[in-house]
Chain A
């Protein structure tokens, strides 16, 4: 259910998250936030600034540096009626609490014959671009998309950041909301009221006629810029943002490809084993007869994220990487 809110104004991605969290806390007494430095300090990215003062330390909880404990606490709390919103500061740190997420959170409901309901939201920050090196820059969404029982969300703008977070928290299943640290300052139109962007619904960000770029998270902006450049090649590019990777709205993607006949998937994560492979496979299952060219993929090279600015600039995919790959699959010399 998408509620169309009336009053909107331009605000930042960070503020969109902050506002969503404030309104969720107001609307539902069972919602609480927890994580490292989320309360007194307001979150290292500022996504819960002021909320402890407003809602008290029982509902906005600073935790020790104990990721397994934090996620486990959320699971137990959710199993007994609360609606936890957990912050794992950098996505890389999920490594510390993978058991709680993958073996406990994702599977409890199924293992218990549908008896447990686990409305846990885990918010975390992915992505390179800030020279934070190999343990603070990864995009690991594919790990979680592979695990039945988890839902995975990757917003690409302030409007979706708020609406998807609200939908995630209200959802009765575990949802990982993965933001990209390079988008935090991004400005956009955001309704003032509480609204949902439904999980599992892709968005056509730019309409086009003869090429589809499916892009996630920060790559949506890069795809839009690439689309402009590719206009010079006579391409009228459609850009589709899945917004939710699990469940994946393949119908919207396939509909686009049936119209344009050519496609490429772009994400920031390592290309090999990335979610792009899954999306490409589903495109050929759903739209094989419509395809005029192999479906391309853009992702990071097969290495950890390098620290050196000189190497990181080569590593993180961008508009140029996308343009080059589109031209390559269309058989054009670059």
Chain B
């Protein structure tokens, strides 16, 4: 049991993690629209409660694997805005020296094993990290984020089976936002609840409201505790929604979903929901919440300035890092 103070601290922490993701992503979206961020940018806006609720349980020694929509995971894991924006710009100061960009952003020191350009690329890697945690006799766990679309890749199924078989300390966190790119879930799989698939592999499947950060936090807490006790994996399905488009910002006025649907989901904006909860509980007033936003926005502005001014990689960098032992 946590005492009152700890509880409040946790709530503030969850709030801050979500605000940091939202601000980071909204600013990234603007920068992309200004033509300052090249390549593909898959934004996490709307899904913040999932990353925040799960990752709040983890230390840097616990790992996560991420997806093409990976900024939110890294921010929640404690990612440094300066290094993140620098990476999105392709600058040498970025997390991956500018070589990876949005789709490959990673911080191994924080246990963030990388965004991934290959849908379904993460789950097998996650079970490898979990295998290693167990092998090395640690209590650390690995959280594997993946989408509803990714749950149709063979890699997910192979990884799920192996994780259950080997009782690996891994949590498969499905971010079910109802779409794989432009295809609605009921047009890409016959099941409604991806958690149902857990039974086929002999692990618990849990469904949670992915717009409710406390619900996510609680369900993830149980799954993580189970994994730390050596009782094996859990499939945690978080029902969520992406407010923006598959790539970039727009998200409204698109052919594959109705604006009314987006507006319905936006009424359950995970941050707004949580802020009204915090106000009701007397933990954080609207003014106090606004102060957090202000602080995070200025953190973002500082980081963007840093990233804009940072130099591009030198040409020699092109052939570096291909091998650990230079050939």
Binding site for B on A (CB under 8 A): 36-37, 40-41, 44, 62-69, 92-93, 95-96, 130-136, 301-304, 306-311, 314-315
- Report how far A161 CA is from B313 CA in the complex, Å: 37
| A65 contacts B152, C-beta separation under 8 Å | yes
| A131 contacts B90, C-beta separation under 8 Å | yes
Which of A41, A306, A309, A315 has most chain B Cβ within 10 Å?
A: A306
B128 touches A (CB below 8 Å): no
Nearest to A134 among chain B residues (CB) is: B104
Within B243-287, the residues touching A (CB, 8 Å) are 255-256
The smallest C-beta distance from B133 to any residue of chain A, in angstroms, reads 26
| B90 contacts A93, C-beta separation under 8 Å | no
Contact among B180, B188, B318 with A306 in the assembled complex (CB-CB below 8 Å): B318
Per-position binary interface string of chain B over residues 83-110, scored 1 when its CB falls under 8 Å from any chain A CB and 0 otherwise:
0000000111000101111011000000
The smallest C-beta distance from A270 to any residue of chain B, in angstroms, reads 11
- Report how far A4 CA is from B96 CA in the complex, Å: 52
B169 touches A (CB below 8 Å): no
Nearest to B155 among chain A residues (CB) is: A96
Q: Which residues of B contact A133 (CB under 8 A)?
A: 39, 99-101, 103-104, 117
Q: Which 4 A-B pairs have the closest CB atoms?
A: A135-B117, A308-B90, A307-B101, A310-B312
The smallest C-beta distance from A273 to any residue of chain B, in angstroms, reads 14
Contact among A66, A67, A301 with B318 in the assembled complex (CB-CB below 8 Å): A301
A307-B90, A309-B90 are known contacts. Are A40 and B322 too (CB-CB below 8 A)?
Answer: no
Contact among A62, A95, A136, A315 with B40 in the assembled complex (CB-CB below 8 Å): A136
| B98 contacts A41, C-beta separation under 8 Å | no
| A135 contacts B118, C-beta separation under 8 Å | yes
A130-B39, A308-B91, A311-B313 are known contacts. Are A68 and B154 too (CB-CB below 8 A)?
Answer: yes
A65-B119, A96-B118, A310-B313 are known contacts. Are A37 and B319 too (CB-CB below 8 A)?
Answer: no
| A37 contacts B104, C-beta separation under 8 Å | no
B166 touches A (CB below 8 Å): no
- Report how far A135 CA is from B40 CA in the complex, Å: 12
| A309 contacts B312, C-beta separation under 8 Å | yes
Q: Report 13 cross-chain contacts, Cβ distance below 8 Å, ordered by A residue.
A: A40-B182, A65-B119, A65-B120, A67-B153, A69-B154, A92-B117, A96-B155, A132-B103, A301-B319, A307-B39, A307-B103, A308-B92, A310-B90
B189 touches A (CB below 8 Å): yes
Nearest to B147 among chain A residues (CB) is: A65
The smallest C-beta distance from A332 to any residue of chain B, in angstroms, reads 23
- Report how far A130 CA is from B96 CA in the complex, Å: 18
A132-B40, A315-B318 are known contacts. Are A307 and B118 too (CB-CB below 8 A)?
Answer: no
Nearest to B105 among chain A residues (CB) is: A307
| A93 contacts B118, C-beta separation under 8 Å | yes
Nearest to A135 among chain B residues (CB) is: B117
- Report how far A67 CA is from B149 CA in the complex, Å: 12
B150 touches A (CB below 8 Å): yes
Q: Which residues of B contact A44 (CB under 8 A)?
A: 181
| A64 contacts B152, C-beta separation under 8 Å | yes
The smallest C-beta distance from A192 to any residue of chain B, in angstroms, reads 28
| A136 contacts B117, C-beta separation under 8 Å | yes
